[in-house]
Structure 1
Amino acid sequence: METDAEATRDSDIVIAATTTDAAGSSAFPYFKKEDIKPGALLLLPAAARFDDDFLGEDNTRLVLDYHGLYDAWAEEYGDEAYQILGIPGCHWNGLVEKGQLDASNFDQIGDISAGRTPARRNEDESILSSVGGMPVEDVAWATEVYDNAHAKGLGQNLLLWEEPAIK
């Protein structure tokens, strides 16, 4: 594929996994509304940007791993959280603070996982999922890596305590 648009236009799932840039959000990967397939899932664990009006549309769903994480970053970094971290949820949170986006547009992945919020409201909604990196995600991934290594007989056992927490 020659362009970003070609890579995303017909994709059901898109992952933005790029680093931040000293130039800030102007250098983040830019996803145009017209290049996002209706019903697509965009996983955003890294720098990405969208047009602000697209974020507030009825058929655009904004999912956060945990809203409190973004509030903490806003408290720590202020208005520069998105520019420094590049995580889209920081920008969305900033738009709420400025009165340009309603916080009711956000869903949390825990609420979806627990069935308190539907996984999908309709087949055409575009889901933008901001992943800030909660430690519980790291523990889940590390457990999977450990289990795979153990099953394949890889690695070396280290005696860190008398009785391991995971066997």
Structure 2
Amino acid sequence: MKSELLFMKQEDVIAAGVLDMKKILELVEKVFYLQGHGQIINPPKTVFGIPIGEEPQSHFFSMPVYIGGDINRPGTKWAAESRANAKIGNLPMGIDMVILSDPVTVQPVAIMDGMVITAMRTAAAAGVAAKYLAPKDAQVAGCVGAGVIGRTMIMALREVAPSLKQIKLCDLNLEKAQNLANEFKDEIEVIPTNSVEEAVTGADIVATMTTSKKPFVKSDWIKKGSMIIQMSSCEVEGGVVEKTEKIVVDSWDQMKENDLSIINQMVQQGKIAEADIWSLSDIVCGNKPGRENNDEITMFSSRGMGAHDIIIGDYLYKEAVKKGLGQKLTLWDEALWV
């Protein structure tokens, strides 16, 4: 029996609707809902760096997933990051693929570019968190990092916090922040800066999207009643975490495998209790409260869940079939051994 699958290049993924942030937010929130009802298998990602025995120049991540409920889709994300790409600038730092399989025959049904999916779902997870944890009348966001996730974070925050009037956007490369500000000039006021303190101080929502290995957001800059979004492992100092009244993560099972995580480090040091770390799925499902008053400081920290990539990939695959996008590939004409 012939085995065929659909290959979707990045242009096909875009044509299928991956840039629709409103839809991506809906899909990502559904994952948290299904996770809270025991319908997600999302084991901790496996990670390795190469070359062996040296400072890693490239990292590879495998993220197998099963989404139950009405989705019923197994799949995996294969992700990779290159420091050389980031330095030279002729290729993206992160290059990802999403693979979907049939739940019964286990044949692959689709392989697609996962780079834009990653960018969209990463910010969408923060967006879902902001829906439940951000101040309801947030006016100013302070964003640190004008890279790919900086762009999609602005997209997500504008959807979930329509009261936003201004975004202070910080990047060490001021020109990069200015260029991104220009992209959104007709949608919202974006003020570029290369000062983290300037971007963060007084912000109702603080979002960090960097590759920093050292914390740089100080607790003195965080105002009462704000929300902090940390998309990397250790962008905020421990004092920021201690100042927070609700610590929420996408997946504690994922995060506690990450030695660089400031939250994991503080749990190991006994500075915060593991029981005080909530899963966003519990809030989405109504088992835990979201923001309860105007004065509390809330925090969301993300490790990244492959389930978000797979639910988006499943949606895009079905849209591609409807629209006649992608290219059919043959895995085999007749299996050699059955």
Partner of 1:62: 247
Q: 1:40 to 1:141 in 2, by over 3 A?
A: farther
The RMSD of aligned alpha carbons is 3.0
Corresponding letter in the other structure for 2:284: S
Identify the match of residue 201 of structure 2 among 3, 6, 9: 9
TM-score, normalising length from structure 1? 0.66
Corresponding letter in the other structure for 2:219: K
> Is the aligned partner of 1:115 residue 2:286?
yes
C-alpha contact (below 8 Å) 1:18/1:47 kept by paired residues:
no
Greater helix proportion: 1
Partner of 2:211: 19
- Cα distance between partner residues in 2 of 1:2 and 1:56: 26
Partner of 1:138: 309
- Cα distance between partner residues in 2 of 1:40 and 1:136: 28
- Cα distance between partner residues in 2 of 1:115 and 1:9: 32
> Is the aligned partner of 1:158 residue 2:328?
yes
Corresponding letter in the other structure for 1:16: T
- Shift in Å, 1:134: 1.0
- Shift in Å, 1:141: 4.0
> Is the aligned partner of 1:37 residue 2:217?
no
SS at match of 2:223: coil
Identify the match of residue 236 of structure 2 among 50, 54, 57: 50
Cα-to-partner distance string for 1:56-114 (whole Å, 9 max, x where unaligned): 33x5321111111123x15xxxxxx20xxxxxxx2212221221222232111110110
Corresponding letter in the other structure for 2:277: F
Partner of 1:95: 266
Corresponding letter in the other structure for 1:91: I
SS at match of 1:96: helix
- Cα distance between partner residues in 2 of 1:111 and 1:132: 17
Q: 1:17 to 1:156 in 2, by over 3 A?
A: same
Aligned counterparts, 1:72-87, within 5 A: 73-74=257-258, 81-82=259-260
- Cα distance between partner residues in 1 of 2:249 and 2:293: 19
- Shift in Å, 1:131: 0.7
C-alpha contact (below 8 Å) 2:230/2:302 kept by paired residues:
yes
C-alpha contact (below 8 Å) 2:248/2:301 kept by paired residues:
yes
- Cα distance between partner residues in 1 of 2:324 and 2:300: 33
C-alpha contact (below 8 Å) 1:54/1:60 kept by paired residues:
no
Q: Unaligned stretches of 5+ in structure 1? A: 75-80, 83-89, 162-167
SS at match of 1:158: strand
SS at match of 2:210: coil
Q: 1:53 to 1:15 in 2, by over 3 A?
A: closer
The percentage of aligned residue pairs carrying the same residue is 21
- Cα distance between partner residues in 2 of 1:116 and 1:17: 29
SS at match of 2:328: coil
TM-score, normalising length from structure 2? 0.36
Corresponding letter in the other structure for 1:34: D
Corresponding letter in the other structure for 2:225: G
- Cα distance between partner residues in 2 of 1:35 and 1:160: 56
Give the 4+ runs in structure 1 shifted more than 6 A: none
SS at match of 1:39: coil
Greater strand proportion: 2
C-alpha contact (below 8 Å) 2:233/2:303 kept by paired residues:
no
SS at match of 1:31: coil
SS at match of 2:246: strand
- Shift in Å, 1:157: 4.7
- Cα distance between partner residues in 2 of 1:106 and 1:156: 42
